[in-house]
Amino acid sequence: MRVLNAILTHQPAENVDRMAASWHQGAASDEVLILYGGMLADFESIKHPHKVFIQDSRLRTKHHRLEKQSYTEVIRAIAGNLATFSHVLFAEYDLVPLQQTAVVHAAYLEKIAEQDADVLFPVVHEVQATCQEVYLPYAFEPAGLEPIRDLSTRSDRGTVLWALLPGSFWRSEALSAVAAVEGEAPVYFEIYLPTLAHHLGFRVRPLTDPRFKIFGGKPFSRASILGLRDEGSIVIHPMKDQWNGEIV
């Protein structure tokens, strides 16, 4: 089994190269794919050879939820680089591995087998008919979700999932199937991608393991890394400044 580390970033080139080198420890040269959502000039300065520039304007939003930010082109770019990989670990720059890449992969592979899942998200909730903040706009505008429901293989077409994407782990077949869907519903990606994977018939489960410290809240500090690494934590998120200078 081979795992592709697909990492979305918009940081300056030198930060990206530091990050790629960190993910690269113990991995083959093509196992780290940089997906770049920043400026083209910065992209061209990145030395890491396995990289893709994401052109999509729906990735570069300011008010992400209001403008319904999309990761669809990111997912399609990953699918285009999947040739020999059985799984994909999707990360953003602020997800930091605390162990060697092989250890990170082994932990994810163990969890996906344990759950018999096709996609693991660090956090995933069923949100239809709830007052969850990201879902609420679609409760009053259900037509936005219709293109997903039209593709559904499920008996209950009303299920809506919300998930945290950084740190998600996909079987290649599930990611390719999501990427192959033509067009795109006008839905924020944290709802669109998990809901689409579910309705295409894939088994979506949460990554329930305290060693994966992946949250949507207050960033971790550089000072906290050493203790977490010694405790056996696998990855942490969010940590915004890990690649700014000397790596902790």
Residues that bind another protein (CB under 8 A): 86, 116, 118, 123-127, 129-135, 153-154, 159, 161-162, 171-174, 177, 198, 200-206, 208, 216
Task: Retrieve residue 52's tokens.
Answer: 């893709």
- Residue 64 one-letter amino acid: H
Nearer to another protein, 73 or 118 (CB): 118
CA 88 and chain centroid, separation: 9
CA 157 and chain centroid, separation: 24
In whole angstroms, the minimum distance from the beta carbon of 26 to another protein comes to: 24
In whole angstroms, the minimum distance from the beta carbon of 89 to another protein comes to: 17
In whole angstroms, the minimum distance from the beta carbon of 242 to another protein comes to: 24
Task: Retrieve residue 194's tokens.
Answer: 């998990």
Nearer to another protein, 26 or 201 (CB): 201
Burial 24-45 (b: 16+ CB within 10 A, else e): beebeeebbbbbbbbeeebbee
In whole angstroms, the minimum distance from the beta carbon of 133 to another protein comes to: 4
In whole angstroms, the minimum distance from the beta carbon of 241 to another protein comes to: 21
Nearer to another protein, 76 or 171 (CB): 171
* Contact status, residue 232 vs residue 207, Cβ threshold 8 Å: no
Cis before 210 (ω within 30): no
Nearer to another protein, 112 or 235 (CB): 112
Indicate the length of the chain as a whole number: 248
Nearer to another protein, 35 or 174 (CB): 174
Query: In 3-state terms, what secondary structure has residue 106?
Result: helix
